C-alpha cells in the first residue's frame, strides 16, 4: 500500500482543535512549526498558566484506533479521528463512503505515555490501552481545569 500524503489533513486537525478550544472559552494559539512535542498553546490569561498541546490525527474512518507518538513534551495529547473515508482492510460493501464528522479525544500526556505499546518501534498508542478512553471524547474540561 502506498503511503498516503495527509499533511494537509493533519494541519486541518490542528486548526479544528484550535477552533474547538476557542469556542469552549479556552484562549489558545498555534505554535510555530517545528516546536518539538506540541502544536498548540492554551493559556489562562488571568494567571499566565499554559498548557502545551500535541495534536495527533488519523485520516481513515476504519483505522485501528491507534496513533504514533515519540515526543511526550506536552501537557495534553489530543487525538483527532478525521473519519475521511475507508482505507484499510479488505474492500467491503459499505452503506456509505465512511466520511463522517471527526471524533476528538483529549488525553493527559502522562496517560498516553503509560499506554505506549512496548513492542512498537515508532511509539504506537492503542486507545483501548487507555483506561475508559471513551470518557475523554470531547472532554475540554480537562484543559480548563488544568489551566485553573
pLDDT at 88: 67
Task: Give the DSSP H/E element, type plus range, for residue 143.
Answer: helix 141-147
Residues of the chain with pLDDT under 70: 1-2, 88-95
Angle at the Cα of 123 from the Cα atoms of 121 and 128, rounded to 5 degrees: 125
Angle at the Cα of 63 from the Cα atoms of 105 and 127, rounded to 5 degrees: 40
**Fold topology of 7-147:** Trna Endonuclease; Chain: A, domain 1 (3.40.1350)
Q: Please state whether beta strands 124-126 and 40-43 pair in parallel, antiparallel, or not at all (unpaired).
A: unpaired
Supply 75's cell numbers: 501537557
pLDDT at 48: 95
CA dihedral (32, 37, 40, 42) positive or negative: negative
**Residue ranges per domain, the chain?**
7-147
pLDDT at 146: 98
* Rounded Cα–Cα distance for residues 121 and 124 (Å): 8
Phi/psi for 25 (5° steps) reads 80, 20
pLDDT at 85: 86
Q: Residue 78's CB: how many other CB atoms inside 10 A?
A: 26
* Rounded Cα–Cα distance for residues 78 and 82 (Å): 12
* Rounded Cα–Cα distance for residues 1 and 18 (Å): 32
Give residue-wise pLDDT tens across range 100-140.
999 999 999 999 999 987 777 778 999 999 999 999 999 99
Phi/psi for 19 (5° steps) reads -60, -45
pLDDT at 19: 98
- pTM of the shown model: 0.90
Amino acid at each position: 500500500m502506498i503511503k498516503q500524503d495527509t499533511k494537509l489533513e493533519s494541519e486541518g486537525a490542528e486548526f479544528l482543535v484550535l477552533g474547538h478550544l476557542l469556542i469552549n472559552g479556552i484562549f489558545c494559539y498555534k505554535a510555530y512549526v517545528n516546536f518539538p512535542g506540541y502544536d498548540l498553546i492554551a493559556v489562562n490569561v488571568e494567571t499566565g498558566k499554559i498548557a502545551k498541546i500535541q495534536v495527533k490525527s488519523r485520516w481513515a474512518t476504519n483505522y485501528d484506533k491507534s496513533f504514533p507518538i515519540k515526543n511526550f513534551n506536552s501537557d495534553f495529547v489530543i487525538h483527532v479521528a478525521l473519519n475521511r473515508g475507508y482505507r484499510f482492510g479488505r474492500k467491503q460493501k459499505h452503506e456509505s463512503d465512511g466520511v463522517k464528522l471527526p471524533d476528538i479525544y483529549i488525553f493527559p500526556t502522562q496517560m498516553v505515555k503509560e499506554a505506549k505499546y512496548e513492542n512498537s518501534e515508532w511509539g504506537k498508542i492503542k486507545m483501548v490501552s487507555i483506561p475508559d478512553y471513551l470518557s475523554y471524547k470531547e472532554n475540554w474540561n480537562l484543559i480548563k481545569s488544568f489551566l485553573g
